[in-house]
Amino acid sequence: MPASNAPAPLNPDGSRRTFMKQAGGILGLALAPPFISQAERLTALSKKLEGVSTINLNVNGTLRSIRAEPRVTLLDALREYLDLTGSKKGCDHGQCGACTVLVDGRRVNSCLTLAVMSQGKEITTIEGLAKGDELHPMQAAFLKHDGFQCGYCTPGQIMSAVACVNEGHAGSEAEVREWMSGNICRCSAYPNITAAILDAKGQMGKG
């Protein structure tokens, strides 16, 4: 299916939370007393996506299509439908940051984002960060400073770290610690992660 046929995103930030609000609105309408006409009610309900449909996702510069239900999260779309397993599921509740990807340059928890609402946006995952064999400066810095042990939180840490620098939130050790605290590392490589980000920040400026 061509990209132009993709449904427009339902809202600009594409989060599950705002979707729920909208869905609640639709449901509210459906349950509303009968002074709303049958036609209006059906119109409202028809906006609800149901069943399997084609979802087009622009991931790491490539347009990918999947057949999936609208309740599929961006994280599950990446991991289970596109076999891009670099983004990790640590909690599925937006509490650990392991699923962090960039959507239009912003870091988002892909477990709290629906795939269907991510259409028409530029999604960057850990697999799209390196240029061929050349690691992104942040990846190289994590390697050099040993910013991980088990590596399960690492893709999320690195995506978050790239955004942290681009946001201008890597001005000092203290600032990095604060702005990287949405990404849990249970192996606790935090001091090394902080060192890696401050190191990579200089390299990213050059690059």
Partner 1 sequence: MEIKEKENAPTNIVGKPLNRVDGPAKVTGAARYSAEVPLAGTVYGVLKTSAIAKGRIKSIDTSRAEKEPGVLHIFTYQNLPKPAKTPQQVEKWRAAQSYLPMQDDRVQYAGEPVVLVVADTLERATQAAELVQVSYQAELPIDSYLDPKAELFDPQTIQSGKQPGHTERGNPQAAYAGAPVKLDATYVHAINHHNPMEPAATLAVWEGNDRLTVYETTQNITGSQTALLDVLGLPRDQVRVVTHYLGGGFGCKGSVWPHTLITALAARAVGRPLKVVLTRKQMFTGVGHREDQEQNLKLGATTDGKLLALVHTKKATTSPWDNYTESNSKVINMLYACPSFGATYELARANVMTSVWMRAPGEAPGSFALESSMDDLAHQLNIDPLEIRLRNYADHDYSNDKPWSSKSLKQCYARGAELFGWDKRNPTPGQTRRGRLLVGHGMGTATYPVHSAQGTARVRLFADGHAVVQSGATDLGTGTYTVMTQVSADALGLPPDKIRFELGDTRLPTAPGSGGSQAAGTVASAIMEAAQDVWAKVVKMAVADKKSPLYKAKPADVKVELGRMFLAKKPAKGETLVAALARSGQTDIEGSASGKYGAGYEKQYFEAADSDDKKGGNPNQEKPGEKQGQGHSMHSFGAHFCEVEVDPELGTIRVTRWVGVHGVGTVLNLKTATSQLMGGAIFGIGSALMEETFRDPTYARYTNSDLASYHVPVNADIPDMTIEFVPETDPYINALGVKGIGEIGIVGVAAAVANAVFNATGRRMRSLPMTPDKMLEALRLPA
Interacting residue ranges for partner 1, rule: CB under 8 A? 68-69, 71-72, 76, 79-80, 83-93, 95-96, 98, 125-127, 129-130, 135, 139-140, 142-144, 146, 148-155, 158, 173, 176-178, 180-194
CA dihedral of residues 177, 143, 75, 182 (deg, nearest 10): -10
Task: Pick the closer one to partner 1 by CB: 60 or 119.
Answer: 60
Tell me how far, at minimum, the Cβ of 33 lies from partner 1, in Å. Answer: 28
**Shorter beta-carbon distance to partner 1: residue 6 or 114:** 114
Residue number, 4 or 131, with CB nearest to partner 1:
131
Strand order in the sheet with 106-109: 62-68, 53-59, 122-124, 100-103, 106-109
Taking the least distance from each CB to partner 1, the nearer of 52 and 63 is: 52
Q: Residue 87 — φ and ψ, nearest 5°?
A: -75, 130
Helix (H) or strand (E) holding 65: strand 62-68
CA distance 74 to 58: 12
Q: How far is the CB of 192 from partner 1 (least distance, A)?
A: 6
- Closest approach of Cβ 74 to partner 1, in Å? 13
Q: Enter the tokens of residue 48.
A: 């609800």
Q: Which two tokens stand for residue 56?
A: 């087009």
Question: Which CB, 6 or 141, lies closer to partner 1?
Answer: 141
Shortest gap between Cβ of 165 and partner 1 (angstroms)? Answer: 15
CA-based nearest residue to 20, from 62, 97, 73: 73
- Contact residues for 138 (Cβ-Cβ < 8 A; gap 6+): 129, 158, 161, 162, 165, 196, 197, 200, 204
At its nearest, how many Å lie between partner 1 and the CB of residue 157? 9
Q: What is the DSSP letter of 54?
A: E
Least distance CB 56 / partner 1 (angstroms): 19
Complex with partner 1: residue 40 or 173, whichever CB lies closer: 173
